[in-house]
Structure 1
Amino acid sequence: MNQSQQGAWWKEAVIYQVYPKSFYDSNNDGTGDIQGIIAKLPYLKTLGITMIWVSPFYLSPGADNGYDIADYYAVNPDLGQLQDIDDLIKQAGELGIGIMVDLVVNHTSDEHRWFQAALADPASKYRDYYIFKPAVAGAAPNNWRSIFGGSAWEKVAGEECYYLHIFHKKQPDLNWENPQLRQEIYAMINWWLDKGIAGFRIDAITFIKKDQDYASLPADGVDGLASIKTKSRNRPGIECFLHELKEHTFNRHRCVTVGEAPGVPLQEYDSYIGPDGYFNMIFDFHAADIDVENGSEWFKQRNWRVGEFKEALFASQRAFCQAGWGTTFIENHDQPRALSKLIRDADYQNDIGAKALAAMYFFMAGTPFIYQGQELGMKNFCRQSIAEFDDISSLDNYHRSLAEGFSEQQALGFINQRSRDNSRTPFPWSNSVNGGFNQGAQPWLAFSSTDFSVNAQSQINDAHSVFAFYQKMIALRNKHYPQALIYGSFAAVEDVDERIVAYQRATHNERFISITNLSAQHLPYTLPAGEIVLNNYADADATLKPYQTILVKE
């Protein structure tokens, strides 16, 4: 850890991500809402978290579930109104809980007034707020493939030109080369900070700088296209934009910033999170995408080993500690459930496995994030047809899998394993109708099962539940041993079986060893002398049981 960054308030946070549409439907219209979050604040306080990251609630047509923003200053009426956000900030604050919101400034919705003005008048100043290029030989300007599949260029009706969309065609990219656009973005950011939010999770921020040659690349798929990431992710010159962004906004407020930073090499972390870094912390995805060769091409699956997963975790830990501060997480709204992805032994996709994964990541260096339902040990949901999926990335991956020669059954298998709908299925509050998500209205995303045995009501008063395990972890980190478990040094424990994830957190007078067996085998391991402060089994001896996790205070 960089010593100059000791003691910041956001390091002591435990951040809980809420996906509003799927959290709690307070008015029984099928969609979760802001009032639903307010209603469940006591639950989150009981868990022990200190900040809520609220996924997008802005006005949006919903092509990418809110990440296609039509108005940065308005709330999607399905979720509530601006007053509800003010109430959430106030009532959460009264409980000592901060509110972090998503900042999506790589692109807008194609229904944003800027883009509509750009389409209406090619001479408008708004045409330069986006990236329009003339057709080349009657076709797209180059062969870049969007993250969601297909060409990254969409033809403008009635014109011989195209606009760029790194993601969905309804998410046109903003032109960060335009200083007037940048000032509009900064004004919006400061407006939200003035409202009293605690900070931002900054979406897809490493994509805002594109190579200005807009050159085609050698094709890397049967579609004749090439991944857009090569020319648009963490490209030279992005540092100018990110420094300016920080100076005009974040530096003027007491706030926390968390960058979504795929494509940033470990050796460049100092630029992002160092003493003069762009953000306070970033998300690292090297371990999160261990099961696929490419996070946006799910048919390129990998038969990964625990040893390489562990090394990916530890490599990011070393980079975080050397550069500044990082995050720890195993789930979010773009990932399947960790219990289904990281534990491949079905017999342990249960409380034992959920607790093993929890303790494995939670005590690493950095600010821990918990995604809704993770604290209950939720698993993936299996769907029988592609028609049952809502996620646009799932639909694109399904069709790309077919184009690559896989069968419909194989393609559906990839999607069930990796779909973002796995984590977006409505939250199970009880074992009642619709899992207590609402009073019976059809949820916006249908359940694929009516088994709600994993639910909050059954766990909140159960001392042996996954929920109680998370409560205990939070208390250990934040109340009992913060000096070691928040600010202590990190070091991997070497010379252990590759299926054992072990590391230490230490200060000059305290040391903890975290040991997790990520396998279904009994593995010999001599525990260090000391007090066992956390264990997902009732006992511990010289052999680690399958998926046993232990935290020892030496």
Structure 2
Amino acid sequence: MREWQKETVYQIYPRSFQDSNGDGIGDINGIISRLDYLQKLGIGLIWLTPMYRSPGNDNGYDIADYYQIDPVFGTMEDFENLLNEAHKRNIKIIMDMVLNHTSNENHWFQEALKSKDNPYHDFYIWKDPVGGHEPNNWVSKFSGSAWKYVPKLDQYYLHLYDVTMPDLNWRNEKLRNKIFKMLKYWAAKGIDGFRLDVINNISKDKEMPNDTFATPLDDGRNFYTNGPHVHEYIHEMYEKVFGPNNFVTVGELSSTPISEAIKYTNPNRQELSMAFTFHHVKVDYTNGNKWTLGQYKLSDLTRILSDWQVKMNAHGGWNALFWNNHDQPRAISRFTNDTKYRDQSAKLLAMVEFGLQGTPYIYQGDEIAMKNAYFTDIKQYNDHESINAYNELLKNGVAKEKAIKILQQKSRENARLPMQWNSQKNYGFTTGQPWLKPLHHDDYSVEKVLKMKNNVFDFYRALIFLRKHKQILINGQYKLLNSQDNSVYSYERINNKGKILVMANFTDQMQERKIANGFDLLLGNYEGIKLNKGTVTLRPYESVMLEK
């Protein structure tokens, strides 16, 4: 067992975590001020989303300078202080790193624009027009064409994401060496690992053919997702940076099948420690389309989770377990009940996650049951993806009211609300005007939750403790108990010393299920549990972890 396999990671979205200077944007000193809180929670690692110098067109995932901390978050001295203070508390720091693209303000791209002969030109992916049009029909993740024309050069550059984020050309060895040098710079600072943004997109098909558009997934991704040299490139990073520094690494692997995720994370291949995959959080996409009012079936959700559990375990892969992150709406609002059964729902989702095999991730606010923003006007949104989707929906004839409801359900802005610390103005996040308007109709905060009996925060603490001390949760085999159950998710973890049974009622109705004899309660999200002669009665959104 590797040490990080029993630890829990806490994701911080710095912009929304804690502001220390009143400018309305969270910062490094704000994070430092909350380290004791995170130590009390019991987490072992912090994942920080990007804090490099950036114009902020994609909230920091558009990096203008890989070597500089953006002044909005603080100074390099502040960052070094954060590292030291975290390490004093036995908390490791994982930095987010974007290697598929840069900002168009990056020095490399500014040089690339000067001429086709400039040595930096080939750091990016350029193509000549085809018949006076784009080189192919690939679509940007942010909608529209994935190509941008530059008249001066009479060429198009590829941008799989925002038009201000040109894709890097990993076939260029000089580029790769520049990247390795930069990664070593951060390693020398003393960080403990990287979360690698859209890392499975860095190797594109050299021919770059048109996609078929036979399904919603045929938008070009068939020719750049898990591309021809991606494993080779990541192994090279492992040999030069990850391995020598004993880094914990997690790759964001959207649209990746299990067979590929195993390759990325099997330790014998020397690539990544673990994989973020997203099939389970796309379960409410209607026919693969995100921007719909989606419904989901529990049996579909449990089938997806179970496939990943069984197959990754069988072939030496390792999952990064999560419900929420900065790009996902809150699961409590999406899959459970964030009103009447808010506490039970938050605990249920936590128990389901922590009972699975993999490394669990808590996204800031999960531990106090934060919920979706439910913004009512497009003017409340900052996120480019959400605004573009809204405009596209209107263009396609969707009524404004319905378009807003879709964003209320699916927008990633839901997860970016400022952290709710106390009952003061702006929940104690800032003394100034927050960059994103917080909710004004929610009374949940860290201050309030910590005063509640049997609170969500303490429930997370209990789960983190169990992960560290129950070997079965690390190495136990996984078994789904009823694949057709659309009300209760029941699974077992099994090793040669015993069993753990997790049961979670995803409905607001009482549910009765049969269980084998001999189980005792390990943890539950209600007081008491109704066990009676081989049956368990689960109250609305009740979850239990039983052991024998």
TM-score (norm. length: structure 1): 0.94
Look up the SS of the partner of 1:426 in the other structure.
coil
Of 308, 329, 345, the residue aligned with 1:353 is 345
Structure 1 unmatched ranges of 5 or more: 1-6
Between the aligned partners of 1:462 and 1:107, the Cα distance in structure 2 is: 45
Between the aligned partners of 1:220 and 1:43, the Cα distance in structure 2 is: 50
Q: Say whether the 8 Å CA contact 1:428–1:452 is kept in structure 2.
A: no
Q: Say whether the 8 Å CA contact 2:10–2:43 is kept in structure 1.
A: yes
Of 368, 377, 384, the residue aligned with 1:392 is 384
CA positional deviation for 1:219: 4.6
Provide runs of 4+ in structure 1 moved above 6 Å: none
Equivalent position of 1:45 in the other structure = 39
Cα displacement string for residues 27-71 of structure 1 (whole angstroms, at most 9, x for unaligned residues): 111000011100000000111111100000000000000000001
Q: How many residues align?
A: 540
Look up the SS of the partner of 1:202 in the other structure.
strand
Which letter does structure 2 place at the counterpart of 1:504?
A: E
Equivalent position of 1:4 in the other structure = none
CA positional deviation for 1:545: 1.1
Between the aligned partners of 1:234 and 1:346, the Cα distance in structure 2 is: 36
CA positional deviation for 1:404: 2.8
Look up the SS of the partner of 1:491 in the other structure.
strand
Equivalent position of 2:533 in the other structure = none
Answering whether residue 325 of structure 2 is matched by residue 332 of structure 1, we say yes
Of 441, 444, 460, the residue aligned with 1:470 is 460
Equivalent position of 1:516 in the other structure = 504
CA positional deviation for 1:483: 1.2
Which letter does structure 1 place at the counterpart of 2:491?
A: Y
Cα displacement string for residues 219-256 of structure 1 (whole angstroms, at most 9, x for unaligned residues): 5699xx96121221112332222222222221221111
Which letter does structure 2 place at the counterpart of 1:442?
A: Q
Of 349, 372, 383, the residue aligned with 2:375 is 383
Of 428, 434, 440, the residue aligned with 1:450 is 440
Cα displacement string for residues 195-224 of structure 1 (whole angstroms, at most 9, x for unaligned residues): 1111111100111111111222335699xx
Which letter does structure 2 place at the counterpart of 1:381?
A: A
Equivalent position of 1:3 in the other structure = none
Cα displacement string for residues 80-109 of structure 1 (whole angstroms, at most 9, x for unaligned residues): 111111111110000010000101100000
Q: Say whether the 8 Å CA contact 2:293–2:409 is kept in structure 1.
A: no
Which letter does structure 1 place at the counterpart of 2:385?
A: S
Which letter does structure 2 place at the counterpart of 1:202?
A: L
Of 119, 136, 143, the residue aligned with 2:137 is 143
Q: Say whether the 8 Å CA contact 1:141–1:162 is kept in structure 2.
A: yes
Answering whether residue 520 of structure 2 is matched by residue 531 of structure 1, we say yes
Answering whether residue 106 of structure 2 is matched by residue 112 of structure 1, we say yes
Equivalent position of 1:318 in the other structure = 310
Between the aligned partners of 1:95 and 1:239, the Cα distance in structure 2 is: 35
CA positional deviation for 1:527: 4.2
Answering whether residue 96 of structure 2 is matched by residue 102 of structure 1, we say yes
Which letter does structure 1 place at the counterpart of 2:86?
A: A
Superposed, 1:241-252 pairs within 5 Å as 241-252=233-244
Q: Say whether the 8 Å CA contact 1:484–1:506 is kept in structure 2.
A: yes
Q: Percent of counterpart pairs with the same letter?
A: 37
Structure 2 unmatched ranges of 5 or more: 531-535
CA positional deviation for 1:521: 1.8
Q: Say whether the 8 Å CA contact 2:159–2:167 is kept in structure 1.
A: yes
CA positional deviation for 1:451: 2.9
Between the aligned partners of 2:412 and 2:292, the Cα distance in structure 1 is: 17
Equivalent position of 1:253 in the other structure = 245
Look up the SS of the partner of 2:281 in the other structure.
coil
Between the aligned partners of 2:25 and 2:295, the Cα distance in structure 1 is: 37
Which letter does structure 1 place at the counterpart of 2:248?
A: V
Look up the SS of the partner of 1:287 in the other structure.
helix
Equivalent position of 1:287 in the other structure = 280
Q: Say whether the 8 Å CA contact 2:116–2:153 is kept in structure 1.
A: no
Look up the SS of the partner of 1:460 in the other structure.
helix
CA positional deviation for 1:346: 5.8
Answering whether residue 75 of structure 2 is matched by residue 81 of structure 1, we say yes
**Structure 1 residues 112 and 553: CA distance shift in structure 2, 3 A:** same
Equivalent position of 1:411 in the other structure = 403
Equivalent position of 1:364 in the other structure = 356
Between the aligned partners of 1:496 and 1:215, the Cα distance in structure 2 is: 41
- Calculate the aligned-residue CA RMSD, in Å: 1.8
Between the aligned partners of 1:323 and 1:107, the Cα distance in structure 2 is: 31
